[in-house]
Amino acid sequence: MKLKYLKLTATLSLIALALAASPTRAAVIGVQVMASDGLYFTAAGPGQYWRWESGGYCGGLGPWCRPATYRWTYDNNTTYGSVNSAVWRVPTVQQVFSRAYAFIPRRNATCRTAFYTISYAGVSGYEQPLDQLVYYDQWAGLFSGKSFYLASQVRLVDGQFGWNTSTLEKIAFDEIKIES
């Protein structure tokens, strides 16, 4: 009986100490990875401009997901805005704040101003460019660390009106990750 009591109080102590511990871990509600050309990916634009390559996150570093290829295209002359684009839809829109990351593959990702837009809060959109050139087979943070409520999709376009980028630059449409 007394031993049981001791065990109970010791357990309570451990729980209390755990509760008081420093918050360097968070309750991550969900991690959703949307693959390039996967179930939640929709591409738009002339088919002749699209290219595919093996590799990227699902093609090597994240072997659990498919397909093992990713889509890319040349950056568009920005006089007319974008020609090719893609949307990654978030499978389960969470009623919480989420952050978005893009996987930047080692090949075909040299665009200095890859314009990503996230849709959130039911209807709003937030757009910022990412420099794909400086990242190599790794996750890059989108939107300067901002988190978004009800994040529902991420869109990437191959050019932006008024941006003088080179048409020799390549823009990769690899995996997008949403962490809630």
Partner 1 sequence: MRYQKALVVSGAAVFIIAASALAVAAQSNQPMAATKTKAKQLNERLDQAIKEELDKGCVQKDEAGGRRPCGDSKARIDGLHDEAARADDDQKARPEALRGSAVANIKKFRGRDDLAVTYQATSANPYRDDGAVIETYVDNDAYEYWIDPSNDRLVQMGPAARADQAPHKVRPEDRLPVSGLRDQAVRLIETADPGFAARRSSLHPLEDNKGKQVYFFRWDDFSAPVKESEMPPFIQVGLYADGRLASYTDTLNK
**Subset of 35-94 contacting partner 1 (CB under 8 A):** 61-64, 87
Rounded to whole angstroms, the Cα distance separating 100 from 127 reads 12
162 binding partner 1? (CB under 8 A): no
Give the count of residues interacting with partner 1 (CB under 8 A). 73
Contact 32, 92 (CB under 8 A): yes
| Cβ contact 177:103 at 8 Å | yes
For partner 1, which is the closer residue by CB, 40 or 149? 149
Q: Which of 88, 84, 77 is nearest to 50 (CA)?
A: 84
3-state secondary structure of 99: strand
Contact between 112 and partner 1 by CB under 8 A: the answer reads: yes
Asked if 111 and 75 touch (Cβ cutoff 8 Å), the reply is yes
Q: Does 120 bind partner 1 (CB under 8 A)?
A: yes
**133 beta partners:** none
Asked if 135 touches partner 1 (CB under 8 A), the answer is yes
Least distance to partner 1, CB of residue 49, Å: 18
Q: How far is the CB of 132 from partner 1 (least distance, A)?
A: 9
Q: Which of 47, 80, 92, 122 binds partner 1 (CB under 8 A)?
A: 122
* 20 makes contact with partner 1 (CB under 8 A): yes
Among the listed residues 155, 158, 159, 171, the single contact to partner 1 using CB under 8 A: 155
Quick count: other Cβ atoms within 10 Å of Cβ 114? 29
What is the per-residue burial (b if ≥16 Cβ within 10 Å, else e) of 37-62?
bbeebebebeeeebeebebbbbbeeb
Among 142, 151, 154, 156, binds partner 1 (CB under 8 A): 142
Query: What's the one-letter identity of residue 118?
Result: I
CB 76: neighbour CB atoms within 10 A? Answer: 23
Residue 52 C-beta: closest distance to partner 1, Å: 19
Q: Which stretch binds partner 1 (CB under 8 A): 22-30, 47-55, 66-74?
A: 22-30
Q: Is 24 in the site for partner 1 (CB under 8 A)?
A: yes
